[in-house]
Amino acid sequence: MITVAYLGQMRVLTFFLLSTWLYSTANAQAVADTAAAQIRQLLKPGKHLVHYFKANPNKQLTTEQKALLAKVRKALPENTAWVLDQDSHKHISGAKEEILNEVRKKLNLTEEEWKTLRDLTDVSKKDVDIYGNDTLEIIAKGDILCFRGTGKTSGLDSVRFDLARNIALFRQWQIPFMNIFHISATANGFHTPMTTYAYELNNNTMTDSTDINTLHFERYDFGVSYQPLTGKAMVIFMIATGNMHGGNPVLQPDVLNFLIE
């Protein structure tokens, strides 16, 4: 089951990126290889139902829910490698519920606590509102993944992903791998830990080196996030362009905003 999510405005995406764990330069190639391997597992070819969603800041967590998230946050670091590594689950029959039950045991949660956690990660009960549907088809052509969407998801039609080279492709641009980030359950509206495989390209030009107002920015972001406690994944694609006006940057972000079931 795949989830494709739009994370909203560029400042929200930037917050997520800055609030995560960074890997060392020495492990850069191993991290990149891990990202490519995980994306191959997460972006399965086929047609998928998508749900558009937006943040709902009015929903508040109860004291009990906050305590449960704190318990999970404390237990997860000891089992992060097992939870995030899908190869660790191969000894299980493969049924989603059996894998998730093993996750519950690893986190030392009772069945009642696990049910509460599952309720917290239910789309209809998160700090997001679902407001529309479309479909997205993922097509594999060798090591190239292509996308074909209906409605707003057709905005992903111009994007491809090269699994062999571990880069996202958009028109003439190659968007390189940046890093892997870990996002805590309390840092996002889904109330569940996430791992993001992030790709970023910045193209900045300045026609007059003496005039800051001639600076033009272009930023391209592609990312795939995985929610290990729900077995879902998200895809992010954002184009942000802007210029300087009066010495201040004026940005126009264009972000895909949908969630795939």
pLDDT of residue 95: 58
Which of residues 224 and 258 earns the better pLDDT score? 224
Token pair in block for residue 113: 């606590």
Please provide the DSSP assignment of 43-85 as one string.
S-SEEEEEEEEEE-TT----HHHHHHHHHHHHHHHHHHHHHH-
Q: How confident is the model at residue 48 (pLDDT cuts 50, 70, 90)?
A: very high
Contacts of 260 (CB under 8 A, 6+ apart): 2, 3, 4, 48, 49, 50, 51, 136, 235
**Does 21 have pLDDT greater than 60?**
no
To the nearest whole percent, how much of the chain has pLDDT over 70? 76
Sequence letter at residue 98? E
As a whole number of angstroms, the distance between CA 179 and CA 195 comes to: 11
163 or 212: whose pLDDT is higher? 163
pLDDT value, residue 15: 34
Q: Quote the crossing angle between the two packed helices 96-106 and 63-84, to the nearest 10°.
A: 110
Whole-number pLDDT of residue 199: 95
Compute the distance between CA of residue 118 and CA of residue 45 in angstroms, rounded to an integer: 27
**Per-residue pLDDT, 85:** 54
DSSP category for residue 127: S
- pLDDT the model gives residue 255: 87
Q: CA-CA distance, 220 to 207, in Å (whole number)?
A: 21
Phi/psi at 35 (5° precision):
-60, -50
Output the pLDDT for position 162. Answer: 97
- The string of pLDDT tens digits covering residues 55-108 is 776 666 778 888 888 888 777 766 665 655 555 555 445 556 677 777 788 788
Reading the block at residue 174, the tokens are: 């190659």
Q: What percent of the chain has pLDDT over 90?
A: 27
Residue 160 CA to residue 237 CA, distance in Å, equals: 11
